[in-house]
Amino acid sequence: MTIRTADFGEDFTWGVASAAWQVEGAWNTDGKRPSVWDEATLRGRVRGGLVALEGSDAFYRLDEDLDLLQAMGVTANRFSVSWPRVYGDGRGPWIDKGGEYYDRLVDGCLSRGIEPWLTVHHWDLPQALWLEGGWTRRGIVEDFAAFAEQLALRFGDRVKNWMVFNEPLSVMGHIAGGIFEDRLGPRPLKALQSMHHMNLACAEAGRRMRAALPEGHKIGTTNVFTLCAPFDATGRLKKAQRTLEALTVDAFLDPAGGLGYPFEESVFLRPLKRYVQDGDLEACAFDYDFMGVQYYGPTPMKSVPLVGGLPVPSLRGAEANVKSTTSIPVEPKGLTEILRRYQHHPACKRFVITESGFGGFDRKDRDGRVRDDLRVWYARTHLEALRDAMDEGIPVDGFFQWSYADNIEWIFGREGRYGVIFVDYDDDFRRIPKDSYRWFQQLLTTGEVD
């Protein structure tokens, strides 16, 4: 089938996405302070060891990377600002050298006709704030809101589209697994407490940013949008799925939409009640201009008596025929289904697909070419699924491919390559456009691709 940009509308945004810690490197340069992921790397929690601190060397290759994005034909570049690079140990003062890097990034995008989309926080919490309790400390709501306000004041003259927080569910998972602790192990209550504070922080940051930004600027956020497979379950299995989905999706969307927490739908959420204070449910609500959809695939699960659904690492059936390097099963139709389910949610005025992509064990051929047919197939099928949703009238205004270049895939290190540009770590981080880059380039520069 042919994919045409015209099928998505003239005002549709075509972009790529990345996160500061995953690509920048320069982890202690120009006054930058340590983040929780820097510390996790030093403790051996990231595969590959200290090389993870080098990222993709993007800090030193800013112009080269932006030139590649311009040649690719994208209209937007989604990036995040490293909290400890510009705001030290979490509460300032502002670090001028760190801020200058993002000035060059924003201005470099604009000079190439690329719209900068800024994510306030993509997981690199300052280590100093973690030592004070991290997201379990209620005071972090004020810390985060003050940081977000600073970014809005400093970049709001040039950046019109903002995302408050990237995937709070994932941060909750890191905390639940004890990744940043001295010892790994389950910490479910810390995770629930952190989730509530993240919901409060996102809303308060949104209010501060809206007051600081010029009129007409857009504020959204991103959340994991997943659903349990199979999608057509009935009876006990459907009820078990609902228990898990209420924890993974609704526990973030419902508070933002003024609906409170879905306590009655998920037994996993009920211990959270001990952390909710008077006025908190009202304070969690914020009128986002758009909701960022992070969809990679469905969640395999099993039904557990008296508990509900639990995620499992594997799934039998068609959905498991293809998996990414991070074990996410691929099911393009799930994107259409998840948009249908949440199109009328009060937190979802309109959608932007802020992350979609496929992780592979990409390698160079002898001729230096990187053939990533699975990533091309993934992109094509998910764009077809998105087009189906838009044909049904579901409001979706943009699509961001994750990621523009190979990067550090968190605990997986360099093993999971998600980029459309190959980073040759053995040859001074040399950039090599993959076949998927050429596929997107044809789509975005000619208007269609087979």
pLDDT digits (tens, 9 = 90+) for 21-48: 999 999 999 999 999 999 999 999 999 9
Q: How much of the chain, in percent, has pLDDT values that exceed 90? A: 87
Identify the band that residue 159 occupies on the pLDDT scale cut at 50, 70 and 90. very high
187 pLDDT higher than 90: yes
Which amino acid, 195? M
113 pLDDT higher than 50: yes
Residue-wise pLDDT tens digits, 83-102? 999 999 999 999 999 999 99
Q: Please state the domain extents for the chain.
A: 3-445
Cis amide leading into 93 (omega within 30) = yes
Identify the band that residue 318 occupies on the pLDDT scale cut at 50, 70 and 90. very low
CA angle, residues 268, 274, 279, in degrees to nearest 5: 110
The SS3 assignment for 448 reads strand
Burial of 65 (0-12, 13-18, 19+ CB in 10 A): buried
pLDDT value of residue 323? 66
pLDDT value of residue 313? 60
For residue 167, indicate whether it is catalytic.
yes
319 pLDDT higher than 60: no
For residue 10, indicate whether it is catalytic.
no
374 pLDDT higher than 70: yes
**Which residue is associated with the tokens 């932007």?**
352
pLDDT value of residue 322? 66
- Classify 3-445 by CATH class: alpha beta
- Choosing from 54, 167, 265, 337, which is the catalytic residue? 167
- Choosing from 204, 337, 355, 409, which is the catalytic residue? 355
Mean pLDDT within 59-75: 98
Entry pTM: 0.95
**Which residue is associated with the tokens 């800090």?**
59
Which amino acid, 44? G
